[in-house]
Chain A
Amino acid sequence: MALITRRRLMLSSGALVAAAAAGGARAQSDETATLTVQTFGGDAELAGVTAAVARFNQSYPNVTVDVSIDPISTGWGDYVTKVLGQFNAGRPADVYGTAIETFRAFAARGLWLPLDDFLKEASFSDLAPSLIAQSAYDGVTSYVPIGWNNIMTNYNRALFDAAGVAYPPRRGQTWDQFRETAMALTQRDAAGNVVRFGYEVPNQNFFVQPWFLTNGTSVLNADWTGSNMLDPRVAETLQFLHDLIHVDGVSPVPGADTLDNQFMAGQVAMISRGQWIVQNARANGLDMDIAAPPVQTTEATVIGFGGYAIARDTARPDIAKALVVELTSRETQREMGDRGGGVPGRRDAISPEFLAFPPSADLYYETLPFTIPVPSPANFQEVEKIFIRHYGAMMAGDESISDGTAAAHAELEDSFARLREQGG
């Protein structure tokens, strides 16, 4: 960033004020229409979208916007089915909010309006370019990125203090150091039973990805067209996680539920989550901070993000685009970010409130350069299920690492073969 002289600062703030004043006097349109928005999220997204729609209605008072928000309580597969069901019935919404995992699954079916030209407009100039690049499929961009989430290690500072253990470094902790920290934080009672865990080995695809990435590998190959499960580094990662559970005893066996409630109650010291956990942590008054995931060979973490798309056959593409502009605006992103709706895709939507909690919140953006998107092939639902099934069995000790990776590899290759047959 160029050096900002005091004079330039005065000028630019003057310009900002003028722009804000001009923006306040929004152009009003008399257009009448009804638009439906189908998106996903929790309380933060609900509040953000509602506010965005209210602002949109200032410019378009005669346009009714109908919003439906899916909480994604059972994974993205069901959301894909829901959306496809809407298209199949000939009743799609006009604007869809969805996440990168589903981008290809939808784009491959030609559901969306191409947005390459739309994205060149000024209002999108401050979106991180890597996000826009990831929103393209087959050379066509169909999504306007919104917030994003990367996985960090969230830790309970109060528990660290009580145990007299130093906080993890912001970046660069090694796997072995992490293991030792987790062991130091695991508490046992007189009989040797664990009453507090140092870490939760994740039970979700998205949360466990950094462990592979920081070992320089991934579960799928680079262009997401086949399995990479036979890579010895994948097995190494799985073995490390397995040992955390069964040898070091710092984590429970991953089950059907996540351990967020236990983390909030102080019964797990560290978990791998994204920025969305801020909502709950603040509500529970948790003294929490974040650190970058521990590194074995490569500094990396996984990123997942959301985007808005417009249905190809929408009746009013112009109004839909105007709505998308509002839904992805600076204000909306800032509001959502503050409430834990993900890190804003626009750099300047980062507010002091966002940076206030957790204490190292600036780390989210600091790690952006070395994030790798979560593998999202067109058959994502199947891939995720296959992986989690074998991963769960391996973590439970029901399947050996070698058997599990071989079986997962075979099933994944099968699934990709079927995908190619269908022309996906």
Chain B
Amino acid sequence: MRSDLQRAEAMAGWLFAAPAGLLYASFVLAPVLLTVVLSFAYYDPMMGSRWVGLENYERFLTDPRSLGILWNTLRFTLFAVTGNVLLGLLLALALNRAMPSWLLSLLRLSFFLPVIVAAAFASIVWSYFLADDLGVVNHYLRLAGLPGVRWLTDGQTAMASIVMVDVWKNVGFFVVVFLAALQGVPRALVEAAAMDATPAWRVFLRITLPHIAPVAVFCVVYASIGALQVYESIVILTGGGPGDATRSLSILMVEQGFGSFKIGYAASISVVMTVIILLITAAQQWVSRRWVRP
């Protein structure tokens, strides 16, 4: 039997959540469902729409081009997540020591500044830094006697370059998160270990890591979701090229939906993107539950 109080609380609960809920339903849930619906159609109001069942998905899964792009996206995600999380952790470990607070603030600021600048802006600047012959980076490389690198015009290097720019842009976020996590590791334990002359790596592995493991999992999940959606950086730096070397699913989706007006096919691509995100997130949750002590 629900008391009046409980009923009032339930009412309040739904009322408080209503504004967010309505907006969420209209601008997130409904569009997602509609996209799924669109993915089963050939949509062109002027030339005639029709249902095509799984045709769009079939096309995606049998077209070597789209499979290659899928593979690019997965590779990019793997590299970017590894780079962002590992480097973020390393930098946080480096920052986690006694230093004047103004210095800490300054360093943290420098690493975090790229996070707050628009990806489009950052990529415009980087495309000049990474130009083959008149670019800044190659200039200094050649000054040092090394050959210039074809950062954005060679298929293999281009992938490395966009990962590099992505890490530059996002590592600051993970530095901040890991730093906060590291500062939550009980001092007493670490100092006790130091007294016993435990080597630093052991301290890290046995004491620090278990404490920050949940945070690390969060970082990996967050980084993955972000990496799978990267769009403007790649478009501005390489346009997806050379050829399809750096093209990601988000670029393909925009190209098909807004460039070629193949709405149904584009919808199916975005559904595939979402499914991948869900799978990766689920896998990471499973890993965290099995290997990470809460």
Contacts and interface: CB of A to CB of B under 8 A. Distances in A.
Contact of A77 (B45, B65, B131, B260): B260
Contacts of A84: 46, 261
Contacts of B214: none
Contacts of A109: 46-47
A382 B239 CA distance: 15
B150 A253 contact: yes
Nearest to B236: A256
Interface string B224-265: 000000000001111111111100000000010011110000
Interface in A362-410: 379, 381-382, 385, 389-390, 392-393, 395-399
B255 A392 contact: no
B168 to A, nearest CB: 18
User: Interface size class for chain B?
Assistant: 20 to 34
A80 B244 CA distance: 23
Contacts of A396: 150, 153-155, 241-243
B9 interface: no
A194 B133 contact: yes
Nearest to B245: A398
Contact of B134 (A267, A398, A399): A267
A410 to B, nearest CB: 10
A189 to B, nearest CB: 9
A76 B47 CA distance: 20
A203 to B, nearest CB: 9
A325 B127 CA distance: 44
Contacts of A1: none
A52 B129 CA distance: 43
Interface string A170-197: 0000000000000000000001011001
Contact of B241 (A252, A267, A389): A389
B148 interface: yes
B260 A393 contact: no
A414 B242 CA distance: 21
A383 to B, nearest CB: 10
B47 A389 contact: no
A279 B46 CA distance: 38
B142 interface: yes
Contacts of A88: 45-46
Contact of A398 (B142, B152, B242): B242
Given A253-B132, A393-B155, A81 B261 contact: yes
Contacts of A262: 134
Interface string A237-275: 000000000000000111111000010000100000000
Contacts of B134: 252, 262, 267
Contacts of B65: 411
Contacts of A381: 259-261
Contacts of B154: 396-398
A256 B255 contact: no
A399 B238 CA distance: 16
A78 interface: yes
B259 A78 contact: yes
Contacts of B153: 252-255, 396
B46 A255 contact: no
Contacts of B245: 393, 398
B47 A256 contact: no
A215 B242 CA distance: 25
A390 B132 contact: no
A327 B150 CA distance: 46
B241 A385 contact: no
B241 A392 contact: yes
B242 A252 contact: no
B131 A81 contact: no
The list of the 5 closest CB pairs from A to B, nearest first, reads A393-B243, A77-B259, A256-B239, A396-B242, A253-B153
Interface of A: 75, 77-78, 80-81, 84, 87-88, 109, 191, 193-194, 197, 252-257, 262, 267, 379, 381-382, 385, 389-390, 392-393, 395-399, 411, 422-423
25 contacts: A75-B259, A77-B255, A77-B260, A78-B259, A84-B46, A84-B261, A109-B46, A252-B131, A253-B132, A255-B132, A255-B238, A256-B152, A267-B134, A381-B260, A392-B239, A392-B242, A393-B155, A393-B241, A396-B153, A396-B154, A396-B242, A398-B154, A398-B242, A411-B65, A423-B47
Given A81-B259, A252-B132, A255-B238, 19 more contacts: A77-B258, A191-B142, A193-B133, A197-B133, A252-B153, A253-B132, A255-B152, A256-B152, A257-B127, A382-B260, A385-B260, A390-B243, A392-B241, A396-B153, A396-B154, A398-B155, A399-B243, A422-B47, A423-B47
